[in-house]
Amino acid sequence: MTNLPDLGLHALRTAYLQGTLDVGRVVDEVILRISKAGDDKVWISRASDGALRAAAAALDARRGEIDRMPLYGVPFAVKDNIDVAGMTTTAACPGFAYDAKRSAEVVRRLVEAGALVVGKTNLDQFATGLVGVRSPYGVPRNPFDPDYVPGGSSSGSAVAVAAGLVSFSLGTDTAGSGRVPAGLNNIVGLKPTPGLFSNEGVVPACASLDCVSVFALSCADADAVLAVATDAAATPAIGPAIGPASRFGVPRPLEFFGDQAFAALYGQAVERARALGGTPVEFDYAPFRDAAQLLYSGPWVAERTAAVGAFIEGAGEAAGVWPVTRQIVLGGRKYSAVDAFEGQYRLAALRARAMAEMAGLDFLLLPTAGTAYRVADLAREPVLYNSNLGHYTNFVNFFGLSALALPAGFRADGIPFGITLVGRANAERALLAWGARWQRATALPLGKTASRLPDAAHDPVVAEDRVSIAVVGAHMSGLPLNGQLADLGGRLENAGRTAPVYRFYALPGGPPHRPGMVRVAQGGGAIALEVWSLPSAAVGAFVEQIPAPLGLGTVELEDGTSVKGFLCEAYATEGARDITALGGWRAYVKSLAS
């Protein structure tokens, strides 16, 4: 049998397929590593050694089915606010503990694919915090320096991967809990688009924002978990690929809370991204920052109160409620329904500004955290320093975005620094593909392990490089010019409406009859549209077929995002019929027939 320095998903699968390794040997190695780690405060509970060996034996007996189990024999850890059948869920609060009768949907999918649950990991109690120290079960030991916080709330899950105790782990991410621990432990942290992974069987923190997240040593491994964990009810569109000539956002102002080493490492990361072919573009971080502050300094705290406030209010000292957690969660009682609505209005305005800043960018390239804190620092400033760690993370779920934390270097004292890519909804595979290129270019260690990146053939690749184009007239499905899109490989992605900032006209001439859409400063309406995508190589040929006064420009959608789309030069609308009130070209065509 082979030696086992590498628990990477692809390393294990290769060995299994070659017949040089069995699951029993892997489980023995995991048990040995956990024993050698000692009292590292990573685990709240573990499957017994006997249960793990029995599960391994059952999988070894099914080796002939390995082709149907993409995660065959892969050991993983689960944050202890996610249910695993037959194990206790505590959310890091002894008095809250209950025995889970069934596994969370995401765990069920992973186990069905052949993965093995090793145990339940420590966390900031009730997933409230980004520091990893708010637990009566202790502080998980940062493998790079135990004096430093491991990051939270998914602290134990991140350390389990970084220390090489498991192949991957599940965390949760409401405000950054799947990213900050990744950055402080030199591993990959994938935060999917909200709704992509099921939250069934997850103790809520802020139910409207919570996401299950993935920690792994490589983007290739995270991609393999993504393929299995994605909820069957989720039907995400495939986001466009991020090509070599990407445009990535660099925030201004930058904040590193006095940490000049992290500031220098971020500057180096920007230059590395430029060397990979990208173009840095500065953007105003203010709307993102202001939205981030709403999470703990606005009415969304009341959603945490709704989740566990009644329990905390009735819990005695023996329940083990962490003092800072109590303070934060019960602080939601001070907000009113009026505060909640005003918060929603404020968030909508910030989102519109933020999406305008993201227009034309493939992703934002942010520091995962602006600095790292010692455990002793948190004893002095438990709330302020926690908020500082969320400076670049708290806004992401508010805006329904995807994100990927990546290792990006070390301070001179050995503390890891990380970056986070923030992309649009359903951009996970594109971010992972770019992240795989990044990991190969930076050649950093994987966590604090002897593991190596898998062969490049396993790297996630977004095969299609496509450009989205919004059409509002005769190019829509079933209308006379739709064939121009189809002939060039066009694909309908979704239907929707513009932001209410356009006037819509029936232009003279034809057939085919065409509309003209013009953006206005006031008095506009929302216009029905379809978003199609074309292979990048076909866009030029499509543009050649567009006659004046029409052309492609940037069209703002109802949800605040922007795509390329048809616009009209204003001069051509003089004397044209204004059909804005009809709300779209199909309605206009229908009105002519009636």
Domain ranges in the chain are 9-242+368-458, 466-593
Q: How confident is the model at residue 128 (pLDDT cuts 50, 70, 90)?
A: very high
Query: Which of 265-269, 309-313, 387-391 shows the lowest per-residue confidence on average (mean pLDDT)?
Result: 309-313
Which of the pair, 221 or 294, is modelled with greater confidence?
Answer: 221
What is the four-CA torsion angle of 250, 256, 261, 266, rounded to 10 degrees?
-10
pLDDT for residue 28: 96
Does the annotation mark 177 as catalytic?
yes
Strand order in the sheet with 491-497: 491-497, 528-535, 466-471, 562-568, 550-556
What is the four-CA torsion angle of 258, 261, 267, 272, rounded to 10 degrees?
-150
Q: Which of 41, 79, 191, 448 is catalytic?
A: 79
Pairing of strands 562-568, 466-471: parallel
Helix axes 323-330, 301-314, angle to 10 degrees: 120
In the structure, how many helices (H) and strands (E) does the chain have? 18, 21
pLDDT for residue 562: 84
pLDDT tens-place string over residues 139-156: 999 999 999 999 999 999
pLDDT tens-place string over residues 406-450: 999 999 999 999 999 999 999 999 999 999 999 999 999 999 999
Cα 537 to Cα 56: distance, rounded to the nearest angstrom: 49
Asked whether the predicted pLDDT for residue 241 surpasses 80, the reply is no
User: Would you call 339 helix, strand, or coil by DSSP?
Assistant: helix
Q: Are 187 and 419 in contact (CB under 8 A)?
A: no
pLDDT tens-place string over residues 282-292: 999 999 999 99
pLDDT tens-place string over residues 39-96: 999 999 999 999 999 999 999 999 999 999 999 999 999 999 999 999 999 999 999 9
Q: Which of 177, 246, 387, 468 is catalytic?
A: 177
Asked whether the predicted pLDDT for residue 235 surpasses 60, the reply is no
Does the annotation mark 36 as catalytic?
no
Give the torsion sign (CA, 430, 433, 434, 439). Answer: positive
- Report the CATH superfamily, name and number, of domain 466-593: Gamma-glutamyl cyclotransferase-like (3.10.490.10)
pLDDT tens-place string over residues 567-591: 999 999 998 999 999 999 999 999 9
Q: Which residue has the tokens 């009566």?
A: 136
- Which residues, in sequence order, are bridge partners of residue 525? 502
Asked whether the predicted pLDDT for residue 593 surpasses 90, the reply is no
Which of the pair, 189 or 293, is modelled with greater confidence?
Answer: 189
pLDDT for residue 239: 63
Helix axes 260-275, 428-442, angle to 10 degrees: 100
183 CB neighbour count, 10 Å cutoff: 29
pLDDT for residue 236: 55
- Which residues, in sequence order, are bridge partners of residue 205? none
pLDDT tens-place string over residues 463-487: 666 788 999 999 999 999 999 999 9
pLDDT for residue 243: 74
Q: Which residue has the tokens 């930076």?
A: 442
pLDDT for residue 2: 46
Average pLDDT, whole number, for the chain? 93
Cα 181 to Cα 153: distance, rounded to the nearest angstrom: 8
pLDDT tens-place string over residues 175-231: 999 999 999 999 999 999 999 999 999 999 999 999 999 999 999 999 999 999 998
% of the chain exceeding 90 in pLDDT: 84
User: Once rounded to an integer, what is the mean pLDDT over residues 303-319?
Assistant: 88
Cα 229 to Cα 246: distance, rounded to the nearest angstrom: 28
pLDDT tens-place string over residues 342-394: 999 999 999 999 999 998 899 999 999 999 999 999 989 999 999 999 999 99
pLDDT for residue 298: 83
- Report the CATH superfamily, name and number, of domain 9-242+368-458: Amidase signature (AS) domain (3.90.1300.10)
* Residue in 33, 32, 25 with CA at minimum distance from that of residue 3: 25
Residues in the chain: 594
Query: Which letter does DSSP use for residue 559 in this model?
Result: T
pLDDT for residue 1: 41
pLDDT for residue 4: 67
Q: Which of 135, 153, 468, 562 is catalytic?
A: 153
pLDDT for residue 296: 82
* Residue in 559, 475, 487 with CA at minimum distance from that of residue 517: 475
pLDDT for residue 112: 97
Cα 267 to Cα 269: distance, rounded to the nearest angstrom: 5
Please report which residue ranges of 276-336 form alpha helices under DSSP H: 286-297, 301-314, 323-330
Cα 220 to Cα 459: distance, rounded to the nearest angstrom: 5
Q: Are 534 and 488 in contact (CB under 8 A)?
A: yes
Q: Are 394 and 418 in contact (CB under 8 A)?
A: no
Residues contacting residue 68 through CB under 8 Å, at least 6 positions apart = none
pLDDT for residue 316: 81
